Amino acid sequence: MIADLHNHYPMHIVPETHGDVLRLVRSNRGRWRLLDQLQKRAVGVASRIANYESFHSGPRSTVPLLREGGVGVALSVLYSAYDEMDPETRHHHPPSDAYVHTILNRMDVVEEEVAVQHADQARVVRGPAELEAALEAGEIALLHCLEGGFHLGLTPRAVDRAVAALAARGLAYVTIAHLFWRRVATHANAIPFLTDRLFFLLFPQPRAGLNDLGRAAVRALVRERVLIDLSHMSERSLNDTFALLDELDPRRSVPVLATHCGYRFGSQEYNLSERTVRRIAERDGVVGLILAEAQSTDGLRDSPTQTLGQSLDVIFRHIDRLREITGSHRHTGIGSDLDGFIKPTLAGLQSAGDLRHLELALRHRYADADAELIASQNALRLLRGFWRGG
């Protein structure tokens, strides 16, 4: 079984609207569903061009594909691109308290879609007990998670309230940094066709790490037992996060994740340095390996992968390096980032259905116990041991 730590399952879901438009616009909920439907349809067009394997291939992550790929647990990523790139603000402006309502509404949409369209095949789970029940029933367990701390609000108090509200709905983790500086946490460049120098010339950010909103998020997440995802963070943000965690939790009992990245063989700050890997392991955390060609092959290949075998060689290099640093396979997982606009993916790993090839390859290369750790058990350890759920 695969536990995918970062899967953009909700990306393809378009909210259904029932009734005539005039009736819908009379209520806040109706207006939101109409607006979100328009936004998600626009994202669908963009996905055909820059996300899916081809214009007509469709989403990379659906319930049938997850089942085909042997995925038993998928951390289902909630994200509002329209809020991160808010047309009413500039990229560096503070966030809005309204953003969290978009996420709460999208939780409703995902839960409704899964319950109506995929009953007895998948379920959204909101806590460890529901996770175990889904696994026992042989159903795919989808867990809400959030990418981008900017969704949480404008003030530390708003962030605190938002984290509490989302935790009550079963949120499993928050990726605090993301693509642009929204006064939460500085980030690494994750746009592969832009050099770091050009990216930060176009989208500057301060020489800082976490600001007040980011620190408020860390405190609230620790309190609510929601996991912290370090993906996308700059080195300064990483340093600030680990320092604050050591202050809040000097015994280092609170684990952390880097759900969708890799080891830094090349020059991309997005991938993790040896020091960061060691610090994640010190908190018994997990690094989820991304399937994006740009990040996975940086420093390992000069040309794109062409075959599944070449892709597996790249993944094994990351796995083996993480083991060299940490001394075991206890800190490695899979975080595909499928449907997260990572086109091109590694060859032969185009959709969630292809993850069965990865699990089989892990079992051929590593001992059964280690293969299970990498494929699912490391991720499940954190969910069972720290995540409280709603």
* CA 283 to each of CA 21, 317, 331, 388: distance values in angstroms, whole numbers, following the listed order: 51, 23, 10, 18
* 105-154 pLDDT tens trace: 999 999 999 999 999 999 999 999 999 999 999 999 999 999 999 999 99
Mean pLDDT to the nearest integer, 3-18? 82
Neighbours of 264 (CB within 10 A): 19
Query: Which own/partner pairs from 273-276 qualify as long-range (CB within 8 Å, at least 24 positions apart)?
Result: 273/235, 274/325, 276/230, 276/238
C-alpha 127, offset from chain centre: 18
Which pLDDT band holds residue 52 (cuts at 50, 70, 90)?
A: confident
Residue spans of beta strands (DSSP E) within the chain: 2-7, 71-78, 122-124, 140-147, 173-175, 227-229, 256-261, 286-289, 332-334
Query: Does position 20 have pLDDT exceeding 50, yes or no?
Result: no
* 194-210 pLDDT tens trace: 888 899 999 999 999 99
* 316-362 pLDDT tens trace: 999 999 999 999 999 999 999 999 888 899 999 999 999 999 999 99
Distance CA 383, CA 128 (A): 7
Per-position DSSP letters for 284-316, written without gaps between them? T-EEEEP-BHHHHSTTT-SS---SHHHHHHHHH
Which pLDDT band holds residue 40 (cuts at 50, 70, 90)?
A: low
- Mapping DSSP to helix (H, G, I), strand (E, B) and coil, where does residue 77 land? strand
What percentage of the chain carries pLDDT values higher than 90? 81
Which tokens hold the place of 242?
Answer: 């680990």
Distance CA 80, CA 181 (A): 15
CATH number of the 2-149+257-385 domain: 3.20.20.140
Which strand (E) or helix (H) includes residue 116? helix 99-117
pTM score, whole prediction: 0.92
Enumerate the domain spans of the chain.
2-149+257-385
Beta bridge pairs of residue 287: 258, 332
Residues in CB range of 20: below 8 A, 6 or more apart: none
Torsion-angle region of residue 148: left (phi > 0), alpha (psi -120 to 50) or beta?
A: left
Residues in CB range of 373: below 8 A, 6 or more apart: 329, 330, 332
Mean pLDDT of the chain: 92
Which tokens hold the place of 116?
Answer: 């109506």
Query: Does position 35 have pLDDT exceeding 60, yes or no?
Result: no
What totals of helices (H) and strands (E) does the chain contain, helices first? 16, 9
Which pLDDT band holds residue 157 (cuts at 50, 70, 90)?
A: very high
pLDDT of residue 88: 62
Residue 202: Cβ-neighbour burial (10 angstroms; 0-12, 13-18, 19+)? exposed
Angle at CA of residue 229, ends 223 and 231, nearest 5°: 155
Which pLDDT band holds residue 92 (cuts at 50, 70, 90)?
A: confident
